[in-house]
A and B are shown apart, each in its own frame.
Chain A
Amino acid sequence: MSCPEFERKGYLYFFKELSRSEREEFKSHLKGCPTCLEELERMKETWRLMERMEQESPTSETRGAILRQARRRNVRTSIGERLRSWVNWWEIHRGLSWGMSAAVVIVILLFVLVRPFERFRPGASIEEETYAWQDDFIAQADWMEQEIDRIESGNLLASYYPSEDDYSEFDEDFVSPLSEDLNRIRGEVENLMETIYGI
């Protein structure tokens, strides 16, 4: 004879799979049911014997084949799996991950608030370079204007022009290009100045 309560709850009780209240309930049932108590004792004895049964191992070839396969599979992971592995890493090293995140946030905040490298901003250096070039241009333009004025005042031309007597023999082509050159230089200087001051 057996009690139906044992089949329903006895094994769950034995393997500690009952909730606390169910466990208490079955305990009080055991107190009043010698059949269940006896069955539980027999079950304990049988299971103790079964747990002592020797466990078997696979051959080393089988073991080696599985472990090799495991290593190979871990190398051949897809991008998705790799992504997942990063997530897994993150979960495993939760403390370290939070620490790293906090450090990154602090560094970003420092950059935003203190702006330690502001003077190295690319915009700033271009601006500085532009001003340096502008100064150069102005200096050169000033020098060229002075030279032109000096030429126009006749100091330099006098050395080129022949005497009044020989003027008829003077080759016009010789004077004309010089004047054109001067005008062209002047034009260029004016354009340059306009461009520079336009900046």
Chain B
Amino acid sequence: MDKRPTDAHLVRSYLAGKNAAFEKLFKRYEKPLFSFVLKFVRERQSAEDIFQQTWLKVLKGLPKYEERGKFSSWLFGIANNCCIDHARGKMRSRVDDAASSEGMDQLRGDDLNPEGMVVKQEQLAVLKKMVEQLPPEQKQVVLLRLYGEVPFKEIASILNSPLNTVLGRMHYAVRNLQKMVKK
């Protein structure tokens, strides 16, 4: 039996005044959440900012957090929204900046081109790159499932999309990854 305190327990302990409980909770999700954000935005500095912004939102929301779903779903849902806001802001600034057209491809959703990668990379490194290059809507689903271990029904609720749409995105993401890894 897993004797680790549950997320809900740690949240309650923190709210009862135990800072160590928050540190445990933070440690539990530090790497998966940061990896999620980093793979989403693909920029270290932006990822650091979004990661921090996510936790600040979590801290602000904790007193009102109701244990309706998994804490991880809530946490990754916040991170996902922060990433989307960041992507929108970036897109807006790039649209404004007529001189720069390169970054728009990232957000278009069909940027699956593996060209330009180092040919003899390790399989994992390729996969990592491939995940980053997935269309945003597919990447969201894959990353939420991979790092947040968020169930598909909750992903559907976070993304405000029907379950079948989410499963379809997962399906195409996996297909794309398999194709790219084969190459």
Contacts and interface: CB of A to CB of B under 8 A. Distances in A.
Interface of A: 6-8, 10-12, 15, 17, 42-43, 46-47, 49-59, 62-63, 65-67, 69-71, 73-74, 77, 81, 84-86, 88-89, 91-92
A84 B63 contact: yes
Interface of B: 9, 12-17, 19, 22-23, 26, 30-32, 34-35, 38, 47-48, 51-52, 55-56, 59-60, 63, 123-124, 127-128, 131, 142, 145-147, 151-153, 164, 167-168, 170-171, 174, 177-178, 181
A32 B14 CA distance: 52
5 contacts: A7-B171, A15-B145, A49-B124, A52-B124, A57-B34
Contacts of B52: 58, 62, 65-66
Contacts of B22: 67, 70, 74
A53 B128 contact: yes
B168 A7 contact: yes
Contacts of A81: 15, 63
- The 4 A-B residue pairs whose C-beta atoms are closest, nearest first, are A55-B31, A88-B12, A89-B16, A55-B35
Contacts of B23: 67, 70
Contacts, number: 116
Contacts of B34: 55-58
